[in-house]
Structure 1
Amino acid sequence: MDNSITKLFNIKYPLIQAGMIWNSGWRLASAVSNAGGLGLLGAGSMYPEVLREHISKCKKATDKPFGVNVPMLYPNLEEIITIIIEEGVKIVFTSAGNPKSYTQHLKQHGVTVVHVVSSVKFALKAQEAGVDAVVAEGFEAGGHNGREETTTFTLIPMVKEQLNIPLIAAGGIANGKGMLAAMVLGADGVQVGSRFVASEESSAHSAFKELVVNAKEGDTQLTLKELAPVRMLKNKFFEEVMQLYTTNPSKEDLIKLLGRARAKRGMFEGDLEEGELEIGQIAGLIHDIKPAAQIVKEMVTEFEAAKTMVNQL
């Protein structure tokens, strides 16, 4: 499966595990990398010293490439970037911010930089900033999302039409057929989040994992667009958000309701009522919790089978 993405990251398969907050620790990242994909540590839910610990443990658990996902809105951003460089991490995925901020600084230290976007406009800005590849993430993805509500399979061909660097598709991809479809539309690889939440190595709480595998079509919704659009499972907290919207709330009202550490409370600590439970629409197609290596193997096997089937049409 050699292509521009496998060569860029020196991996076996063009399959990247998303760096999801409260889900993507060293166990998951190393397991995906060992299976031939690219594992990412989710720095967005880690204090600087915790990230350093996860990088160290990941190095010991795999001799394969792995990376770190860094939300650019992170309060300790400069310290996080310094740790990544000091620890010799060679792949960084940036998101939720301006790619110009640290792209050249990272590249000067030999780091491959990828930026996550939700529109053609921001894909081109990322390319202009000098990133090595772009992740184009559709509106069906879990967690924080674009305001444009452009779906993955609409976004990918539009970005591909104008981009000159490798393109990675994200949002609504959880099996080999989805992987093939994204690549037929122009992606060079895929980034997968929700499927890896329901893995044995995910650091998510077991109660959250079980909720994910029991989710059905329509159980998630994008909301809080005035703050930072986020797709989450419908629960008591979600209903409180919807009730607040009926009062025409101010941004400050929404911030007050959201409070602090909602995502940690839900995904990491397992509070299924008051927590923020971020997951993609594809959760309706996820029915079990299994080892990350098995997920990678099954996706690649299904990808090859689907490609053979299409070639016979």
Structure 2
Amino acid sequence: MNKITQLFNIKYPIIQGGMIWNSGYKLASAVSNAGGLGLIGAGSMYPEVLREHIQKCKKATDKPFGVNIPMLYPNIEEIMNIVVEEGVKIVFTSAGNPKTWTSFLKEKGITVVHVVSSSVFALKAQDAGVDAVVAEGFEAGGHNGREETTTLTLIPMVREKIQIPLIAAGGIATGRGMLAAMILGADGVQVGSRFAASVESSAHNNFKETIVNTQEGGTQLTLKELAPVRLVKNKFYQDVQDLYQKCPSKEELVQLLGRARAKKGMFEGDLEEGELEIGQIAGLIHDILPVEQIIQQMIAEFEAAKKEKVTFEF
């Protein structure tokens, strides 16, 4: 039996990324209903909004779902208490030290997964007592590891170091990508960009259309001095590059970024001034589909690729 389907009691080892401004209860419940594990993205929600989404998700699905919590949160204690009060059974933590909250959550009977970008952090997460790790490669959208380690190299390096279940993330949107990650040593996959371009994603339709229209090479990792983030090359991205020409201070970069830039882009649909976070795999996403169709296509392609008899001649 697959370690990830067993750990979460789900049908397919496909986890939906808890993306800010994309991952509301509609997306999370749709993924869970289709046999994967849906995650509510707490990173763009005030505490009471998160509570509301958890309650709505419980009504929308009787399948397991979780919450993704970036630990840089100013209201982190309140967020963790809401998760416990609402009876959430699965929490994915990111952007912080896994030791801080893992034992608190585990004592409440919650399954804990931590997102990492290196084998060093994967080991720290294992030592902290998490149930599994997500190893996310440089191809991924949103905030990213500074090391720029790609999924192809990261997964086998993490697999070599840890004993707990491993979930691969970054650049996975197809059944073939899923099979490749699992051949490299992953037990399951986390998918972000493909679900951002779904009917049930809470992102603005302008952003969804942008994902579909983004070509190979249309994204870039930037703002490393603040927190590395992969962005679509729009006007805001160009403004950042123009500022770099002047060797800006960290304060000047913060000033340009301002507040709620990601909300403006992904949730409100401002394609010029907004921060549009998406993975390199966007170049392979050509349509906006219902979640159920996305998962069925992935599984069908995964099964077909497994059966292919390929002979390599040397």
- TM-score range for the pair, normalised by the shorter chain length: over 0.9
Partner of 2:234: 235
Alignment of 1:205-244 (within 5 A): 205-244=204-243
Partner of 2:58: 59
Partner of 1:271: 270
Amino acid aligned to 2:134: V
Partner of 1:191: 190
Distance 1:48 1:119 in 2: 30
Shift of the alpha carbon at 1:104? Answer: 0.3
Distance 2:259 2:249 in 1: 18
Cα separation, partners in 2 of 1:114 and 1:310, compared to 1, 3 Å: farther
Alignment of 1:5-16 (within 5 A): 5-16=4-15
Amino acid aligned to 2:127: E
Q: Which runs of no fewer than 5 residues in structure 1 stay unpaired?
A: none
Partner of 2:292: 293
Q: Deviations over 1:188-207 (max 9, x none)?
A: 00000000000000000000
Q: Deviations over 1:237-269 (max 9, x none)?
A: 000000011111111111000000000000000
Shift of the alpha carbon at 1:310? Answer: 4.8
Partner of 2:181: 182
Partner of 1:306: 305
Alignment of 1:146-157 (within 5 A): 146-157=145-156
Shift of the alpha carbon at 1:281? Answer: 0.2
Partner of 1:36: 35
Amino acid aligned to 2:46: Y
Distance 2:113 2:308 in 1: 32
Q: Does 1:131 align with 2:130?
A: yes
RMSD, matched Cα: 0.9
Shift of the alpha carbon at 1:312? Answer: 7.8
Aligned to 2:199, the other structure's residue is in SS state coil
Aligned to 1:191, the other structure's residue is in SS state strand
Distance 1:195 1:31 in 2: 14
Runs of 4+ residues over 3 Å off in structure 1: 310-313
- Aligned residue pairs, count: 312
Q: TM-score, normalised by structure 2?
A: 0.98
Distance 1:273 1:310 in 2: 47
Distance 1:72 1:203 in 2: 22
Distance 2:310 2:116 in 1: 32
Q: Deviations over 1:32-76 (max 9, x none)?
A: 000000000000000000000000000000000000000000111
Shift of the alpha carbon at 1:311? Answer: 7.3
Distance 1:58 1:49 in 2: 14
Cα separation, partners in 2 of 1:250 and 1:310, compared to 1, 3 Å: farther
Alignment of 1:155-166 (within 5 A): 155-166=154-165
Partner of 2:89: 90
Distance 1:312 1:209 in 2: 39
Partner of 2:98: 99
Q: TM-score, normalised by structure 1?
A: 0.99
Shift of the alpha carbon at 1:96? Answer: 0.5
Cα separation, partners in 2 of 1:28 and 1:74, compared to 1, 3 Å: same
User: Percent identity at matched positions?
Assistant: 78
